[in-house]
Structure 1
Amino acid sequence: MAKFLYTYQKIVDLKSSEKTQAEWLLSSAVSKLHEEEATLEGLLQERSEWLERLQEASEKVVSLSSIRVVQLYLEFIESKIASKRSDVRQAKQEVESSRSHLTDRMMDEKVWLKAKDHARDRYRVLTLAKEQNELDEMATVRFVAPAR
């Protein structure tokens, strides 16, 4: 039996490559999201620690300037937290965009793989029919040959 060669195999390979690339992009986006979330968690932890320090300072006799320094630093951390939350939102949007892109690439690949499967099935049917015709012809020749 002859080997099946799909005419559009290069397109199938391209679609598979695009899907793999989309998977890498999604993996990268998810990794970046995790990094942003970890950084945000660190900032929230730092804010909590500085709030505790401020609470302790308010219970002790501490100079007003040192309390003001802690408050200024807390305001700075708050601004960093707000900025990081924005970064996290943006990273989540990038993950969703990458997921959507991957879904599209997967569907493209699936369409082309199904087309290849259908072409292979048609090829098998044609090949089997051709072989059956050859076998039928051989049987006919063998049957007619002794009758001569």
Structure 2
Amino acid sequence: MAKFVYRMQNILELKQKLEEQEKANFGMATARFNEEQQKLRDLMIRQAGYERQLKELSVGNIDIKQIKTCKSAITSIKVALRDQMIEVSKAQKALENARKRLNTVMMERKMHEKLREHAFEEFVAELDYEENKITDELVSSRFFNPEEEGE
């Protein structure tokens, strides 16, 4: 029986390797996005803590120096929050780009797998045809050329 050889197997393997690389890139982009979001959440928690501390300082004995320090910390946290929001946005864009590249590479790989399947189906059909042809030749040669029994 003949062996099936897909002539574009090396291209299919290349597409599979590219897909694995893009999956890794997508995983790294996802991790970076999650990390940046966590930093943003941490900054928001710190800001809420400073605001709560400012409220507590405003009640009872008023310490102007601590209030100014707390307001300064809130201002610097707001700047850090704005910067972190920009970083989250950049990470989100990178994540979307990685997702698009991964989808493109996956579609290309699937297309080549379909081509391989079709080539295999053609190969099997050709084998069936050849088998039927050989069987027909054997049957017809026996039918039209019977062996002499009386020799």
* Range of TM-score over shorter length: over 0.9
- Matching residue of 1:87: 87
Q: Which residue of 1 aligns with 2:74?
A: 74
Map residues 1-148 of structure 1 onto 2, 5 A cutoff: 1-146=1-146
Q: Deviations over 1:36-80 (max 9, x none)?
A: 111110110010011000000011223212111111111111111
| CA distance in structure 2 between the aligned counterparts of 1:3 and 1:135, rounded to whole angstroms | 20
CA distance in 2, matches of 1:12, 1:128: 26
Q: In the alignment, residue 31 of structure 1 is paired with which amino acid?
A: A
How far 1:144 moved relative to its partner? 2.7
Structure 1 CA distance for aligned equivalents of residues 3 and 30 of structure 2: 42
Unaligned runs of 5+ in 2: none
Q: CA deviation at 1:87?
A: 0.6
Shift in Å, 1:110? 1.2
Letter in 1 for 2:87: D
TM-score, normalised with respect to structure 1 = 0.95
Measure the CA separation in 2 of the matches of 1:21 and 1:128: 39
Between the two proteins, the alignment pairs up a number of residues equal to 148
Superposed CA deviations along residues 84-120 of structure 1, whole A, max 9, x for unmatched, are 1111111110111011001110111111111111111
SS at match of 1:146: coil
Percent of residue pairs bearing the same amino acid type: 25
For 1:38, the aligned partner's letter is Q
Distance in 2 between residues matched to 1:41 and 1:99, nearest whole Å: 24
RMSD: 1.2
Bigger proportion of residues as helix:
1
In 1, the alpha carbon distance for the partners of 2:25 and 2:132 equals 50
Q: Tell me which amino acid in the other structure corresponds to 1:16.
A: Q
